[in-house]
Amino acid sequence: MKDRETMNIAVFASHGGSDLQAIMDACRDGRIDARVSVVISNNRDAKALERARNAGIDACHISLRNYQTQEKHDESVLEILTRHHIDIIFLAGYLKKLGTAVLSRFENRIFNIHPSLLPKFGGLGMYGLRVHEAVLAAGERVTGITVHRVNEAYDEGGIIAQTCVEVLPADTPETLAARVLEREHSFIVEVLRDIIAV
């Protein structure tokens, strides 16, 4: 996407940020040739923001609740992205939708990671343990992870990469979630490295 200059990534995250941590670690030690320039969260208490601060990365809390309109909120998001010269946006556990202004400005440059083999077990309300509960309820023997482009619908943008994770007979939603998340930490680095190399 860019010649020689290091790419700037914005990561959006709502909670724990373990995927964010995997991205930051890989950027820091050179496995990903890019830098996380800013982390944005709708949740002021997100551990993701703390992880960013600990890494010396700008951490921004931006919530729609603090704006009169979605447009004003989007203006603030775009101002931050512009200030940091952001090239790509990665949604790593971000539970809000991006506004149309952000979607159009960064068309084809916004990616999301989802803990299932989309189009299975995606869409509105399919996040956290609910995904893994649904996988077990459906009797799936294999689940996985999807990285896809982001558009205006939840979990529906074009799929970039997927990997499988085995479902074990004794799995609970919690054990399955933990196994999928652990695999996410290496998969997110593999896929982001490829995205950046294009």
Which ranges in the chain belong to alpha helices (H)? 18-28, 47-54, 70-83, 100-105, 129-137, 173-197
- Shortest distance in whole angstroms from residue 115 CB to ligand GRF: 4
- State yes or no: residue 13 binds ligand GRF (CB under 6 A): yes
- State yes or no: residue 23 binds ligand GRF (CB under 6 A): no
- State yes or no: residue 16 binds ligand GRF (CB under 6 A): yes
Q: Please tell me the distance from the alpha carbon of residue 60 to that of residue 95, in angstroms, as a whole number.
A: 16
Three-class secondary structure assignment of 106-133: CCCCEEEEECCCCCCCCCCCCCCHHHHH
- State yes or no: residue 115 binds ligand GRF (CB under 6 A): yes
**Per-residue b/e over 132-153, b at no fewer than 16 CB within 10 Å?**
bbbbeeeebeebbbbbbbbbee
Q: Which of 184, 187, 189, 195 binds ligand GRF (CB under 6 A)?
A: 184
* Catalytic status, residue 61: no
- Shortest distance in whole angstroms from residue 18 CB to ligand GRF: 3
Any idea what DSSP says for residue 64?
G
Main-chain dihedrals φ then ψ at residue 105, nearest 5 degrees: -65, -35
| Catalytic residue (choose from 15, 114, 132, 148) | 114
- State yes or no: residue 143 binds ligand GRF (CB under 6 A): no
- State yes or no: residue 144 binds ligand GRF (CB under 6 A): no
Nearest residue to ligand GRF on Cβ basis: 93
Q: By the 8 A CB rule, do 26 and 192 touch?
A: yes
Q: Restricting to residues 86-105, which ones interact with ligand GRF according to CB under 6 A? A: 92-93
Q: Which stretch binds ligand GRF (CB under 6 A): 8-16, 35-43, 57-65, 81-89?
A: 8-16
Strands of the 58-61 sheet, one edge to the other: 58-61, 34-41, 7-12, 88-91, 110-114, 142-149, 159-166
The count of chain residues that interact with ligand GRF, using the rule CB under 6 A, is: 14
- State yes or no: residue 113 binds ligand GRF (CB under 6 A): yes
> Which positions are catalytic?
114
What residues make contact with ligand GRF under the rule CB under 6 A? 13, 15-20, 92-93, 113-115, 181, 184
